[in-house]
Amino acid sequence: MKFKKVCACVLAASMVMSLAACGSAAEETAPAAETTAAAAEDTADEAAAETPAAETTAAADESGYPDYSGVTIRFAWWGSQPRHDATIKVIEQYEALTGLNIEYEYYDFSGYFTQLDTLVAADDVWDVFQMGNNWATYYDAIEPLNEYIDGGAIDTSNINAPLMQVTQDYDGNQMGISLGTNCRCIAYNPALFEEAGVPEPTDNWTWDDFANACLQIHEKTGAYGMDKLEYFTLLGSYCTQMGEGYNFFSMDGSDFSFNDDTSAIAQMFDTFAELEAAGAVADPGVQAEIVDEQADYICTGESAMLLIPSNKFVALNEAVQDGIELKLALLPRLYADGQSGMLVRSSQMLCMSAASEQKEAAASFMDYMINSTEANEILNGERGVPINTTVREDLASKSDEITAEVYEFIDKVSSIEDTANTTNAEPDAQTELSQVLQQYFEAMFAGDYASGQECADAFYEEAKTIFASYQ
């Protein structure tokens, strides 16, 4: 009898626990489901409202948008919620203007590329799709745009030539059109610097200054110096900053370009292993928990710095708690009087699928995304600073303080002369190298290597093998 009671108790108790677990699972998913449902309703409502809107705009605007009624193209991109919302609005606007039917899909970064890979294998890629600087991997699936630019379907008269070149291959094929430019930068919380009594970053601060700031801030305030690390950016910066002509990848991405000199990489491993050991940088477990900028400890004032692409600065400012003010700084240098390792580049671009059957309509939509002021007022430079001069001026004149800060920052980086020495290449091997680099960092943190030099040499050995496997 007693046993039964115990039994019943144990069963009931453990059931409560599993129910609790179920409950939290349900909570976790429920809001997401609601939002999707709400989003679906939204689109349905807008779709319903679309027809009259289309008529009015068509009547009001006779400035020659082509009529694509009955034509359907597919368009996909990756990003976060604000980007999805803005892009969908622009799509609906363009549908109303031309009658074109655009079927859109959006993903997070890794989901996007998994989907793209399967579509490439099936030769069924979206007509228009967003692409990063890793376009070399998808070279055969991309239709060069030269024909459409020469034919006038895509207007580039307001775009400076260097900004077109950032998305060309070495033979001058226009692989895509940049949706905006950005550069890597450090967003930092000046209040934490002040509290710890460390000077704020200057335009030529060094990695030693950076490490010192991290350690001081962690010691005095308990906050992380920088919680999440972007390992591959660190690697690229250290290599480029070794001296003029140095880079991790050569300018055309066909080889390494640091004269087999791993000393800077060794210094990088040493510095960050010290910071991680001191707790000034988050351990790999905490880093893995930070899925995006919105989840970063910088938003709660528990971390002082974050390495981000400049176009994310606006969204980051929206995600921080009230009262936290952020500023932008250049990446630290290896030598205060040395190379900056900075580069303004295309943050992402629009590509046309080589397999597309509606290339003309696709080109027309791409033209709208790049050149229309109305469209870009909605997109608001979230993908990067627009490359069309008119659009850029229009946005700059209407921008708030934070957006203006990003524009200023990009201007500042553009004016640094040595940016011409920094490579923009992202060869095929980069994804794997980047993953393996993270493993070396984590091995270094776990104490598998006695010194940074040992770790750097082991990494370079493996990097060479990996790089060769892609040739």
Partner 1 sequence: MAKTMNKSAETSGRSSFSKFMNNDNTVGYIFAAPFIIGFLAFTLIPMCISFYYSFTNYKITKAPTWAGLNNYITLLGDEHFWNSIKVTFEYVLFGVPSKLIAALLIAMLLTHAKRMQGFYRAVYYIPSLIGGSVAVALVWKQMFSSTGPIVSMIQALGAEDFNFFGSTQYAFIPLVIGNAWQFGSSMLIFAAGLKQIPKDYYESAMIDGAGAVKRFFSITLPCLSPIILFNLIMQLISGFMTFTSAFIITEGGPNEATNYISLYIYNNAFSYHKMGYACALSWVMLVIITVVTLVVFKTSNKWVFYESEQ
Under the binding rule (CB under 8 A), the answer on residue 389 touching partner 1 is no
Q: How far is it, in rounded angstroms, from Cα 158 to Cα 441?
A: 44
Q: Which of 114, 165, 202, 259 binds partner 1 (CB under 8 A)?
A: 114
Helix axes 231-240, 430-445, angle to 10 degrees: 100
Of 58-66, 325-333, 399-407, 432-440: span binding partner 1 (CB under 8 A): 432-440
Of 49-57, 346-354, 418-426, 441-449: span binding partner 1 (CB under 8 A): 441-449
Under the binding rule (CB under 8 A), the answer on residue 35 touching partner 1 is no
CA-based nearest residue to 256, from 439, 138, 429, 442: 429
Under the binding rule (CB under 8 A), the answer on residue 120 touching partner 1 is yes
Q: Which of 65, 188, 231, 445 binds partner 1 (CB under 8 A)?
A: 445
Q: Mask of contacts with partner 1, 268-307, x by CB under 8 A?
A: -----------x---xxxx-xx------------------
What 192-201 contacts at long range (C-beta under 8 Å, 24+ apart), as own/partner pairs, is 192/217, 192/221, 192/223, 192/301, 192/304, 193/217, 193/304, 195/220, 195/221, 196/220, 196/221, 200/327, 200/329, 201/329, 201/330, 201/332
Residue type, position 345, single letter: R
Under the binding rule (CB under 8 A), the answer on residue 28 touching partner 1 is yes
* 353 beta partners: 142
Report the residue number, 123 or 408, with the smaller CB distance to partner 1: 123
Q: Which of 71, 73, 141, 391 binds partner 1 (CB under 8 A)?
A: 141
Backbone angles phi, psi at 389, to 5 degrees: -60, -45
CB 334 within 8 A of CB 242: yes
Residue 193's alpha-carbon distances to 112, 281, 303, 333, 458, in angstroms, are 38, 15, 11, 19, 36
CB 264 within 8 A of CB 240: no
Q: Which of 65, 138, 269, 365 binds partner 1 (CB under 8 A)?
A: 138
Residue 243's contacts (CB-CB under 8 Å, 6 or more residues apart) are 338, 339
Q: Mask of contacts with partner 1, 448-467, x by CB under 8 A?
A: x-------------------
Of 84-92, 112-120, 246-254, 264-272: span binding partner 1 (CB under 8 A): 112-120
Report the residue number, 18 or 415, with the smaller CB distance to partner 1: 18
Q: How far is it, in rounded angstroms, from Cα 419 to Cα 8?
A: 71
Under the binding rule (CB under 8 A), the answer on residue 432 touching partner 1 is yes
CB 309 within 8 A of CB 179: no
Q: How far is it, in rounded angstroms, from Cα 17 to Cα 8?
A: 14
Under the binding rule (CB under 8 A), the answer on residue 428 touching partner 1 is yes
CA-based nearest residue to 187, from 468, 406, 415: 406
The distance of closest approach from Cβ of residue 11 to partner 1 in the complex, given in angstroms and rounded to an integer, is 6
Q: Which of 44, 47, 49, 121 binds partner 1 (CB under 8 A)?
A: 121
The distance of closest approach from Cβ of residue 215 to partner 1 in the complex, given in angstroms and rounded to an integer, is 17
Of 11-19, 91-99, 147-155, 206-214: span binding partner 1 (CB under 8 A): 11-19
What's the token pair of residue 199? Answer: 């000077």
The distance of closest approach from Cβ of residue 121 to partner 1 in the complex, given in angstroms and rounded to an integer, is 5
Q: How far is it, in rounded angstroms, from Cα 67 to Cα 89?
A: 19
Q: Which of 292, 377, 442, 454 binds partner 1 (CB under 8 A)?
A: 442
CB 395 within 8 A of CB 380: yes
The distance of closest approach from Cβ of residue 29 to partner 1 in the complex, given in angstroms and rounded to an integer, is 5
Under the binding rule (CB under 8 A), the answer on residue 16 touching partner 1 is no
Q: Which residues bind partner 1 (CB under 8 A)?
A: 3-4, 7-8, 10-11, 14-15, 18-19, 21-22, 24-25, 28-29, 110, 113-114, 117-118, 120-121, 137-141, 279, 283-286, 288-289, 428, 431-432, 435-436, 438-439, 442-443, 445-446, 448, 469
